[in-house]
Structure 1
Amino acid sequence: MGYPGLHRILWTREQFAVFRDASGQSYVVDAYCPHLGANLSVGGRVMGSCIECPFHGWQFSGKDGKCTRIPYAEKVPEFAKIKVWPSCEVGGMILVWYHCDGVSPTWQVPEQEEVASGAWVFHGTTEHFVNAHVQEIPENAADAAHLSFLHEPWIMNGVDLRHTKSKFWRFMKHHWKAEWQPEPDMHCSCLIVKHSLTIFGKHFPLLDMMISARQIGPGLVFLIFQHDFLGCGVMIHSVTPVEPLLQHVTHRIYYQRSVPSIIPKFLLWAESIQFERDVMIWNNKQYLSKPLLVKEDAAIQRHRRWYSQFYSENSPKFPSQNTGLDW
């Protein structure tokens, strides 16, 4: 999407028209014109800071949604307007605040300073579609036990879980130490991961890497990489509901300018392999509202209590759902 430009987003039960004015300021509004229902993002034009309906030329301000011009009318009614959605731009993404009760934003998404200043530059993105409830994906952060089992095999073993235990690459193993905790800012939590690698059972400290995964709200994670030799960067992980049991997941990586691009591209590739192992689980698992846990799984229950803040009594539910997530 360039600017000035126009884009359409389908998100759960909402359709948005997203556009920029000539200065680059972005706006997010309801996609449908309140006049006769034309889709503003299909054939509409950006006129200054307004979007023009392709059907009759009505123009709506991206700032407050008010209709500013009707080509064939003497007067524009005061009540003629469309909804403007609160939004911000972070890490090359336009993020929209959505609350089923219409509550205004109660917190802001922080900028990654190095990305905003240009010190860390974009090196690629991956996209996945996952057949799971939106809560399943971030819950992995609190499930430290799965890291040692699912993600221990070397990445060259691939993503098919029927073959990841292959003896061919058994001499190389990933090792993970992880701890998840909610932050004082209630809408944030943090997972600290120490990754190491052994080859024929020998630990190579030069390959150790610290990863800080900061969850911001229900569907955004900043994974910050720190390595003495490979440098620093961030992978921005986002989860967007497309349907009740279909999530669109992206990973965007930004890395130090001084580091050769092969390093962040390798990290993005390695992350996608490990993530796709999880996808194979998510696509075929069942959500259990009352799982059988042991004391070492205590963080999972703490994560569920923390994540429950993002639901309300009016949160959209699947038609067959009565209570919980058993659908």
Structure 2
Amino acid sequence: MNVKELPFSMKPVGWFQIGWSDEIANATIKPIKYFGEEMIAFRTEQGVLHVMEAHCHHLGAHLGYGGKVTGDQITCPYHGWQWNSEGKNTHIPYQENCVNKRLKTYHIKEQHGVIFLWHDPSGSAPRWGLPHMFDSFRDYLDMDESAFYPIYPHGTRLWPKEEVHPQITFENSVDSMHFRYVHNSPLNPELLEQDYRENGSVFRTLFGFRSVKHNEEITMTFDTRTSGVGCSFNVFKGSYNYRVLYCATPIDDASSDLFNTIWWPRKPGDNGDMPEDIQQRVDKEILTTVDEDLSVWRHQKYVHRPLLAKQDVKAFNALRKFQAGFYDLPPTD
């Protein structure tokens, strides 16, 4: 896909995944790049995570390569200048006064082992919250996080630097028939519901899967809450009861990182990590679904006015209208 030909930018407003919590231990730094900006994610000695711009304002050294964390301070590897978690210069080893210019910091949220970053080109603080993989579905399937195996590392997968725009990937959230043809679903998929929630920041869809063996009864449902054009929180209920977080985060004007996270229910009495037989099943049956989607996304051409089947018109147009609201937003007060 040539993302440069798309009628929308790679810098939408919203929440986007930038990693998993267990990737960043206390007092460590991880260099990252998203939305064309070099950043660092670092965890203080006390375990608090922060994200800020990557280059020291002194002579531009990258703090993610050779920088050190002490308390909540980062020491530049080039000349020992120190910056705190608020981006403030707190120490210059060879002079008494510090500089007033701050490093840019970013709003982040750690939720159920996943790291989310708020992106807004206008610089505004978060305008809305995020769905929650457990709390947002309690009226539908009330299960706590403790009922699932830890997600990292066996329930996670990253597809780095794919030439795919996030918005294209989330159009699957209203596309019932792609389950049959892309993922070879043995059940008959059907879009049952779609609506807006939480002040217009979440688009919800509910799919039902009808079983030929059981007189076309719905034997499994798939409930999706899509946040903006960055994250999709999904719950399967019925034949299987697992949860999937799919996220797409722009790196630059041409590519995105794609993230998949699986919460698989524990076996009765098992309080350990995900056993090997389930690891193999998750890797083979669940994590590979994005590989199947990518076989289409990598070569897909964006169609501004698509020819749609009658059953798809209402939901597809509603989703595109919803997605259009996350670009070029004016600054908040």
In which range does the TM-score fall when normalised by the shorter chain? 0.7 to 0.9
TM-aligned CA deviation for residue 75 of structure 1: 1.0
| More moved, 205-214 vs 99-108 | 205-214
| 1:275 paired to 2:307 | no
Residue in 2 that maps onto 1:120? 148
Q: Structure 1 207/303 Cα, relative in aligned 2: closer, same or farther at 3 Å? A: closer
TM-aligned CA deviation for residue 175 of structure 1: 2.1
Residue in 1 that maps onto 2:26? 3
Residue in 1 that maps onto 2:3? none
Kindly name which structure, 1 or 2, has the bigger radius of gyration based on alpha carbons.
Answer: 1
Match of 2:265 among 238, 242, 256: 256
Match of 1:233 among 230, 233, 242: 242
Match of 2:220 among 187, 209, 220: 209
Q: Structure 1 179/138 Cα, relative in aligned 2: closer, same or farther at 3 Å? A: farther
CA distance in 1 between partners of 2:179 and 2:254 (Å): 24
- Residue identity in the other structure for 2:168: E
Q: Structure 1 258/116 Cα, relative in aligned 2: closer, same or farther at 3 Å? A: same
CA contact (8 A) 1:240 1:247 kept: yes
CA distance in 1 between partners of 2:68 and 2:193 (Å): 46
CA contact (8 A) 2:155 2:282 kept: no
2:264 counterpart SS class? strand
TM-aligned CA deviation for residue 204 of structure 1: 8.6
Give the superposed CA RMSD.
2.7
CA distance in 2 between partners of 1:305 and 1:76 (Å): 49
Correspondences of 1:78-89 after superposition (within 5 Å): 79-89=100-110
TM-aligned CA deviation for residue 196 of structure 1: 4.6
CA distance in 1 between partners of 2:172 and 2:46 (Å): 40
5+ residue gaps, structure 1: 155-172, 315-327
| 1:38 paired to 2:64 | no
1:287 counterpart SS class? coil
Q: Structure 1 80/275 Cα, relative in aligned 2: closer, same or farther at 3 Å? A: closer
Match of 1:175 among 188, 191, 211: 188
| 1:302 paired to 2:324 | no
5+ residue gaps, structure 2: 1-23, 136-142
1:208 counterpart SS class? strand
- TM-score, structure 1 normalization: 0.79
| More moved, 203-212 vs 117-126 | 203-212
2:105 counterpart SS class? coil
CA distance in 1 between partners of 2:281 and 2:64 (Å): 37
Q: Point out which structure has higher relative CO (alpha carbons under 8 A, 6+ apart).
A: 2
Give the share of equivalent positions with the same residue, in percent.
27
CA distance in 1 between partners of 2:179 and 2:134 (Å): 29
Match of 1:284 among 295, 299, 309: 299
CA distance in 2 between partners of 1:243 and 1:179 (Å): 36
- TM-score, structure 2 normalization: 0.78
CA contact (8 A) 1:6 1:19 kept: yes
CA contact (8 A) 1:4 1:22 kept: yes
Correspondences of 1:13-24 after superposition (within 5 Å): 13-24=36-47
CA contact (8 A) 2:211 2:217 kept: no
TM-aligned CA deviation for residue 237 of structure 1: 1.1
Aligned residue pairs total 288
Residue in 1 that maps onto 2:11? none
| 1:195 paired to 2:209 | yes
